[in-house]
Amino acid sequence: MAEALTLRLMQEDEVARLVGWAADEGWNPGLHDARLFWQTDPEGFIAAELDGELIGGGSIVSYHREFGFMGLFIVRPEFRGRGLGTQLWHARLRLLQSRLRAGATIGMDGVFEMQDWYREGGFAFAHRSIRYQGAGAAVVRAPGLVEASEVPFERIAEYDRRCFPTWREGFLRPWLEQPDSLALVATEGDAVRGYGVIRRCAVGGKIGPLFADDTDIAESLYTALGAHLPGAPVFLDVPEINAFAMGLARRHGLKEVFGTARMYLGPRPKMAEHRVYGITTFELG
């Protein structure tokens, strides 16, 4: 007989615990991810309790009811293999569907070996996302690259919308302004041609997102962001579907260290995938 989980919304300090468990799993979260994730959608995190003890959780973030994302799916190691994760996963999916308009798409990034299981839940494979590791190096910042604070936020948000399934202003502004980070925008006159963010993590830093009109702009953003942490490990989550992004990883001699399968339940989102050189996060999309 299956053990009965108690499911409820997480509190902010519990999201911090969940991100801490992610660090224990080697996911290398950003130093401020817990606070930023919580601010994006305070009702988007589900706690799983067993006999009053927090044993797992995950995100069910809704972006304007138009697009949902499931991530941060963790059950503590000592409670695995008992069917509790299956209960939690299906409950999260039902809850997220209730938070979205009918027919809205849900995305997720799952480890490769779980693809068949997620497919049974209705998710379809879209592409692999490869986490690459390099190292930051001091460089002269290319002309046209300016800090995000110098560009009207609305222009950055408009560019971001081309590269993400829907608007996410509530996430984006704090993400650009977070401590221990650098956000750069590639400009041409008043036009935004790309942007990227690097944030400090438990180990080194992660670049995400990295969005650009073309490879030259992506290259200039990548090197300038890496210069924020010279000599430190720098990670970039590259969608394999973008051949130009994969080429960037090869040219810089980046090492593959991890990977996930991007999967969708519902229609595949319409966005400029050729501009996506680095995914924002595996946890929130």
Q: Dump pLDDT digits (tens) for 13-45.
A: 999 999 999 999 999 999 999 999 999 999 999
- Can you list the residues of the chain whose pLDDT is less than 50? none
pLDDT for 139 equals 93
Residue 215 is classified by DSSP as H
Is residue 158 domain-shared with residue 270, that is, in the same domain?
Answer: yes
In 26-97, which ranges are E strands?
45-50, 53-63, 67-75
Is residue 84 domain-shared with residue 147, that is, in the same domain?
Answer: no
Is residue 188 domain-shared with residue 228, that is, in the same domain?
Answer: yes
Is residue 253 domain-shared with residue 141, that is, in the same domain?
Answer: yes
pLDDT digits (tens, 9 = 90+) for 252-279: 999 999 999 999 999 999 999 999 999 9
With respect to residue 181, please indicate whether it lies within any of the assigned structural domains.
Answer: yes
With respect to residue 114, please indicate whether it lies within any of the assigned structural domains.
Answer: no
Helix (H) or strand (E) holding 216: helix 215-226
Single-letter residue type at 227: A
With respect to residue 123, please indicate whether it lies within any of the assigned structural domains.
Answer: no
Is residue 181 domain-shared with residue 246, that is, in the same domain?
Answer: yes
CATH of the domain at 153: 3.40.630.90
Is residue 84 domain-shared with residue 149, that is, in the same domain?
Answer: no
Is residue 268 domain-shared with residue 138, that is, in the same domain?
Answer: yes
With respect to residue 19, please indicate whether it lies within any of the assigned structural domains.
Answer: yes
Q: How far is Cα 214 from Cα 275, in angstroms, rounded to an integer?
A: 7
> Percent of the chain at pLDDT above 70?
99
With respect to residue 202, please indicate whether it lies within any of the assigned structural domains.
Answer: yes
Is residue 273 domain-shared with residue 137, that is, in the same domain?
Answer: yes
The whole-model pTM stands at 0.96
The owner of tokens 């039902």 is 94
pLDDT for 2 equals 62
Q: How far is Cα 284 from Cα 236, in angstroms, rounded to an integer?
A: 15
* Cα atoms found within 13 Å of the Cα of residue 179, Cβ hemisphere only: 4
Q: How far is Cα 128 from Cα 246, in angstroms, rounded to an integer?
A: 11
For the chain, the domain total comes to 2
Is residue 182 domain-shared with residue 263, that is, in the same domain?
Answer: yes
pLDDT for 226 equals 98
With respect to residue 172, please indicate whether it lies within any of the assigned structural domains.
Answer: yes
pLDDT for 3 equals 77
Cβ proximity of 101 and 66 under 8 Å:
yes
Query: Last residue of some domain: 108, 123, 143?
Result: 108
Q: How far is Cα 114 from Cα 203, in angstroms, rounded to an integer?
A: 26
Q: Phi first, then psi: what are they for 264, rounded to 5°?
A: -130, 140
Is residue 167 domain-shared with residue 198, that is, in the same domain?
Answer: yes
Query: Last residue of some domain: 108, 123, 146?
Result: 108
Query: Last residue of some domain: 93, 108, 123?
Result: 108
**Domain membership of residue 52 as a residue range:** 6-108
Is residue 91 domain-shared with residue 219, that is, in the same domain?
Answer: no
* Residue among 118, 133, 159 at smallest CA distance from 275: 159
CATH of the domain at 71: 3.40.630.30
Is residue 199 domain-shared with residue 99, that is, in the same domain?
Answer: no
pLDDT for 4 equals 82
